[in-house]
A and B are shown apart, each in its own frame.
Chain A
Amino acid sequence: DGGITQSPKYLFRKEGQNVTLSCEQNLNHDAMYWYRQDPGQGLRLIYYSQIVNDFQKGDIAEGYSVSREKKESFPLTVTSAQKNPTAFYLCASSIGGQGSYNEQFFGPGTRLTVL
């Protein structure tokens, strides 16, 4: 089955701890994205990567970090510097990167709750 997976589905952390969200795709897509979704706010872009070992900040990158060491993996770390980390996090991938107008395929999301 081809697709994009995120794990875990639910994640709880104590305030002040860093946490890493997993995103894996076997679609052979070059581009990958991380979004944050809050009630009534739609999707806001955190980071995106158009190719391995390269990534760019999105609109709300502060308090987050990413890596892209492999084409199929794009983990997101929510650091203690992120003031309001509780949210629904969505990972996506597409054949080409920004500017290619390709359909984005989304994972099922990870709901992070910081206590």
Chain B
Amino acid sequence: LAKTTQPISMDSYEGQEVNITCSHNNIATNDYITWYQQFPSQGPRFIIQGYKTKVTNEVASLFIPADRKSSTLSLPRVSLSDTAVYYCLVSGYSTLTFGKGTMLLVSP
């Protein structure tokens, strides 16, 4: 059973790049990695998904090394509105495991 581990919290300043890493040592061959963002009292929102190497979209990048035992969500030039909790999800045929989330606080 895949277990995911993330830092509990991170601090940053506006305009900086933020990298949040998720550890998933037991990831299975057919599992994907997905990242979600959640604001207080709301449902999570999809950010990005990947299987290996690097994926980039308009809001973030996802880096996954060859062994796939970890993944890093990269948020370029964060703003105050990026203050939220970020979750990694490992999912596959027999897996659906969310991490406990990383609270990102962006300050002026």
Is the pair B91, A111 in contact by a Cβ cutoff of 8 Å? Answer: no
Report the interface size for chain A: residues with CB under 8 A from the other chain: 25
At the interface, yes or no: A45 with Cβ under 8 Å from chain B? yes
A67-B32 Cα distance, complex, nearest whole Å: 28
Is the pair B100, A41 in contact by a Cβ cutoff of 8 Å? Answer: yes
- Partner-binding segment picked from B11-19, B40-48, B62-70: B40-48
Is the pair A42, B99 in contact by a Cβ cutoff of 8 Å? Answer: yes
Chain A residue numbers with a CB within 8 Å of B49 are: 101, 103
Is the pair A42, B87 in contact by a Cβ cutoff of 8 Å? Answer: yes
A27-B71 Cα distance, complex, nearest whole Å: 30
Q: Interface majority SS on B: helix, strand, loop or mixed?
A: loop
A37-B45 Cα distance, complex, nearest whole Å: 15
Is the pair B42, A43 in contact by a Cβ cutoff of 8 Å? Answer: no
Nearest residue, chain A, Cβ from B44: A106
Is the pair B41, A42 in contact by a Cβ cutoff of 8 Å? Answer: no
Is the pair A42, B43 in contact by a Cβ cutoff of 8 Å? Answer: no
Interface residues of B in 84-108 (CB under 8 A from A): 87, 91-94, 96, 98-101
Nearest residue, chain B, Cβ from A91: B43
A35-B106 Cα distance, complex, nearest whole Å: 27
Residues of A within 8 A of B (CB): 4, 33, 35, 40-45, 48, 58, 88, 90, 92, 98-99, 101, 103-109, 111
